[in-house]
Amino acid sequence: MVDKETQIKVLLSGKALDFACETLGVKDMRTRKYVEVFTVSPEEVYEYTTIHGIPHSDSTGKNSLAEDFHYYEEEGKWYTFFRERGHIFDEKCFDDDELGKKYIVTTLLQLSGTGLYYKNDAYTLGNKKDKTDESAHCLVLFVYFFTS
């Protein structure tokens, strides 16, 4: 079994497929399941990021032209957006540090491609603080819309 810290680092890096195939000794995941490799919960991933921070790279930053999910912190606020084919969409700004980080972690887990961190898990992680928070409702709508 792969230790939790390694699982978390791989999931946040977006290299789940390569790591799972290497770990299981297969060329693809058509006959295997990601749950054989990744057993950490979204809460464990978030907890890890509260201690070690959310991984950053030049490709995730504000000025990157990479087609991907982008996030950065500026003046105490978290900003996120997607860039694809030169267009920016789904821009978000989080004044609440915790909510911004939870949104980023939830999105990175969903983008990992494992299929293990959708719907209920994302809803739980995104709403732990206060279900009446307007930003949390926006997160739930976002998660529901893109994962349905």
Q: Is residue 11 part of a domain?
A: no
Distances from the Cα of 6 to the Cαs of 10, 38, 39, 113, in angstroms? Answer: 6, 10, 11, 17
How far apart are the C-alpha atoms of 12 and 53, rounded to whole Å?
11
For 46-83, what is each residue's pLDDT tens digit? 999 999 999 987 777 788 888 889 999 999 999 999 99
Q: Please count the other Cβ atoms lying within 10 Å of the Cβ belonging to residue 69.
A: 19
How far apart are the C-alpha atoms of 98 and 24, rounded to whole Å?
35
Mean pLDDT of the chain: 83
Judged against a pLDDT cut of 80, whether residue 109 lies above it is answered with yes
- Which residue range is the domain that position 69 belongs to? 42-147
Q: Is residue 32 part of a domain?
A: no
Strand, coil or helix: 67: coil
Give percent above pLDDT 90 in the chain: 66
Q: Is residue 137 part of a domain?
A: yes
How far apart are the C-alpha atoms of 116 and 90, rounded to whole Å?
23
Q: Is residue 6 part of a domain?
A: no
Distances from the Cα of 31 to the Cαs of 24, 34, 36, in angstroms? Answer: 11, 10, 11
Total structural domains within the chain: 1
Q: Is residue 36 part of a domain?
A: no
Global confidence as pTM:
0.77
Q: What is the pLDDT of residue 124?
A: 46
Q: Is residue 82 part of a domain?
A: yes
Q: Is residue 35 part of a domain?
A: no
Q: What is the pLDDT of residue 125?
A: 57
β-strand partners of 40: none
Q: Is residue 91 part of a domain?
A: yes
Q: What is the pLDDT of residue 119?
A: 60
CA-CA-CA-CA torsion sign (65, 141, 111, 5): positive
For 12-55, what is each residue's pLDDT tens digit? 999 999 999 999 999 999 999 999 999 999 999 999 999 999 99
